[in-house]
């Protein structure tokens, strides 16, 4: 056999072994496949009693102390402190609670109120000497389960029917993750400034917030501008559903989104990180159509030429 052909065969064999044998194996070892659970949160108990929103409102605004740390715009309750002061106090800015009832699972909310670090799966990061910044609700004198259900019912009653993808991102991720492509920092959307001095002062505030956040959570959470293209949809979904399943020991909390809530967040990640996706997908069909028509024409042309030669 010709020497070149032998070399070619060896190269082909080794390439195939690497491609079908080694790479998939390495991939499966480095990125373990995690089965999604449809955002069902089966580890959390179902609510056993029906909540009363009116009683829940009293608790949220009063004995539950929620408005001591959180704003609720939908109920005309402004945040007790601005984002910078909150970050200096808690390490992170507690989100406004107006739309949590539309985005977060109710079992998750109930568990969060009773024991935040448990619901968020970050107990390994906190202890008695370093308590989680959101306090646990131990009851206001009545039946604890009933009081918690009342608060969940209230939060659901004030939540709007429609939440935009951006609002969903803001509530669920925006306090920790910046998105440069959307001019988003942990302080919110960056305003336009008339004077350089104001712009610099704002940038300093962002840096200070990020310092507090990094100290609180161990590192600055990554910018999510292009995460939709950097990671597979499967990874993102299972990671947000349960960060511990993909990255054991991570400080990123399980945020407790429902499947619809996650879809909203995913949409925002796509709108910002991959805005040309709809155009690309609609172009795909046009290209295929072009090839089909071209094939037909080429075939007819060939028939015509050969018919003359026979």
Binding region for ligand HEC (CB under 6 A): 60, 64-66, 68-70, 90, 92, 94-95, 97, 100, 104, 112-113, 133-135, 137, 151, 172-173, 175-177, 217, 219, 221-222, 224, 227, 231, 236, 239-240, 247, 250-253, 255-256, 265
CB 6, min distance to ligand HEC, A? 44
Minimum distance from residue 193 beta carbon to ligand HEC (Å): 27
* Residues near 102 by beta carbon (within 8 Å), at least 6 away in sequence: 156, 159, 160, 161, 163, 261
Determine the Cα angle at 150 with ends 147 and 154, to 5°: 140
Least Å distance, CB 226 to ligand HEC, is 10
Q: Which is nearer to ligand HEC, 90 or 202 (CB)?
A: 90
Identity of the residue, 202 or 216, whose beta carbon is nearer to ligand HEC in the bound complex: 216
139 vs 199, beta carbon nearer ligand HEC: 139
Quote the least distance from Cβ 67 to ligand HEC, whole Å.
8
Nearer to ligand HEC, 80 or 202 (CB): 80
Instruction: Give the residue from 189, 260, 276 showing the smallest Cα distance to 226.
Output: 276
Report the alpha-carbon distance of residue 168 to residue 229 in Å, rounded: 20
Shortest Å, Cβ 211 to ligand HEC: 14
Backbone CA torsion sign across 275, 281, 282, 288: positive
Burial class (CB in 10 A: 0-12, 13-18, 19+), 105: buried
Buried b (16+ CB within 10 A) or exposed e, 195-218: eeeeeeeeeebbeebbebbeeebe
CB of 111 to ligand HEC, least distance (A): 10
| Residue with smaller CB distance to ligand HEC, 28 or 136 | 136
CB of 103 to ligand HEC, least distance (A): 9
* Beta carbon nearer to ligand HEC, 198 or 263: 263
Residue 243 near residue 254, CB atoms below 8 Å: yes
Structure-token pair, residue 46: 């179902």
Residue (153 or 173) nearer to ligand HEC, CB: 173
Smallest distance, ligand HEC to C-beta of residue 94, A = 4
User: What sign has the CA pseudo-torsion 274, 187, 219, 246?
Assistant: negative
**Closer residue to ligand HEC in complex, CB, 138/305:** 138
216 vs 252: CA distance, rounded Å = 11
Q: Compute the distance between CA of residue 126 and CA of residue 218 in angstroms, rounded to an integer.
A: 12
Rounded Cα–Cα distance for residues 108 and 254 (Å) = 10
């Amino acid at each position: 056999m010709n020497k070149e052909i032998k070399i070619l065969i060896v190269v082909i064999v080794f390439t195939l072994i690497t491609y079908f044998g080694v790479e998939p194996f390495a991939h499966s070892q480095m990125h373990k496949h995690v089965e999604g659970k449809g955002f069902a949160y089966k580890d959390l108990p179902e609510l056993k009693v029906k909540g009363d929103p009116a009683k829940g409102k009293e608790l949220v605004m009063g004995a539950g102390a929620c408005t001591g740390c959180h704003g609720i715009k939908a109920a005309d309750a402004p945040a007790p402190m601005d984002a910078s002061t909150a970050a200096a106090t808690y390490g992170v800015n507690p989100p406004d609670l107006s739309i949590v009832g539309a985005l977060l699972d109710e079992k998750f909310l109930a568990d969060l109120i009773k024991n935040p670090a448990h619901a968020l799966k970050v107990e390994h990061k906190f202890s008695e000497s370093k308590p989680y910044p959101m306090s646990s609700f131990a009851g206001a004198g009545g039946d604890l389960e009933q009081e918690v259900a009342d608060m969940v019912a209230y939060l659901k009653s004030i939540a709007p029917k429609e939440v935009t993808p951006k609002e969903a991102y803001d509530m669920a991720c925006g306090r920790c993750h910046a998105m440069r492509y959307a001019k988003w920092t942990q302080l919110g959307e960056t305003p336009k400034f008339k004077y350089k001095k104001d712009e610099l002062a704002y940038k300093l505030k962002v840096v200070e917030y990020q310092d507090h956040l990094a100290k609180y959570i161990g590192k600055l959470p990554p910018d999510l501008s292009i995460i939709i293209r950097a990671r597979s949809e499967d990874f993102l979904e299972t990671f947000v559903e349960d960060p511990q399943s993909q990255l054991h020991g991570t400080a990123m909390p399980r945020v407790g989104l429902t499947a619809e809530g996650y879809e909203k967040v995913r949409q925002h990640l796509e709108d910002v990180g991959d805005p040309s996706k709809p155009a690309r997908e609609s172009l795909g069909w046009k290209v295929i159509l072009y090839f089909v028509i071209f094939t037909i024409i080429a075939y007819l042309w060939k028939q015509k030429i050969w018919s003359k030669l026979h």
